[in-house]
A and B are shown apart, each in its own frame.
Chain A
């Protein structure tokens, strides 16, 4: 158990809908990262938050957004969903945002999103 929790575990929704994925980092971790893993693909970095502020952006679509709240949990919002958005979405956390404390990231179990 990494200490990172994600809810829900599974989500099935229709095209055009909007969903929210939730992540709680490990106790003491200030950084939260979101990744997408599509079929036969590696993990694609989406976005990072550090202590409530956006730190880095990767290949995140404009239909997707995220935020980190004062209690450090984070939410990833996916809107106008398309079939191609079906994937595993992982959240990870680390102590810091960069340097030694930001290198090892600890992953949650993921949310499997199926868009029909």
Chain B
């Protein structure tokens, strides 16, 4: 049973446009969400995160939105650049009565930004 789902395996966007990557989750105990970016032959790189008490977090061209009622988060990249082409993983962490659980990852979305 996948607790973190990225339903789009791939996404293609034109340079300069907005990229929107989506992630759905099922566990209401998740209290922290993260996005990682992964280039081929490299490990995932932390990109941006958001606490469940917020609905938006922005860092430069990257913004993460959290909709707790829908159990949905999204990553917006504006404007998209060819260097953003990578696999993006959504991850979540649960809070169990004073003890944080470990990260649970989605399967990833491959973003291609075309010049």
Binds B, one of A13-21, A38-46, A66-74, A79-87: A38-46
- Structural contact, B46 and A106, CB atoms closer than 8 A: yes
Q: Which 9 A-B residue pairings sit nearest by Cβ, starting from the closest?
A: A107-B43, A42-B105, A98-B100, A42-B107, A43-B105, A107-B44, A45-B102, A109-B43, A104-B46
Majority secondary structure of chain B interface residues (helix, strand, loop or mixed): strand
Encode B39-76 as 1/0 by CB contact (under 8 A) with A: 00111111001000000000000000000000000000
A: interface residue count bin: 20 to 34
Min C-beta distance of B34 to chain A, whole Å: 7
- Asked if A8 is an interface residue, CB under 8 A from chain B, the answer is no
| Given the contacts A41-B107, A56-B102, A58-B102, A4 and B43 also touching, CB distance less than 8 Å | yes
Chain A interface residues (CB < 8 Å from chain B)? 2, 4, 6, 33, 35, 40-45, 48, 56, 58, 90, 92, 98-99, 102-110
- Structural contact, A43 and B44, CB atoms closer than 8 A: yes
Give chain A residues whose Cβ lies under 8 Å from the Cβ of B45: 2, 107
Min C-beta distance of B104 to chain A, whole Å: 7
Chain B interface residues (CB < 8 Å from chain A)? 4, 32, 34, 36, 41-46, 49, 89, 91, 93, 99-108
- Structural contact, A103 and B105, CB atoms closer than 8 A: no
CA distance A106 to B44 in the complex (A): 8
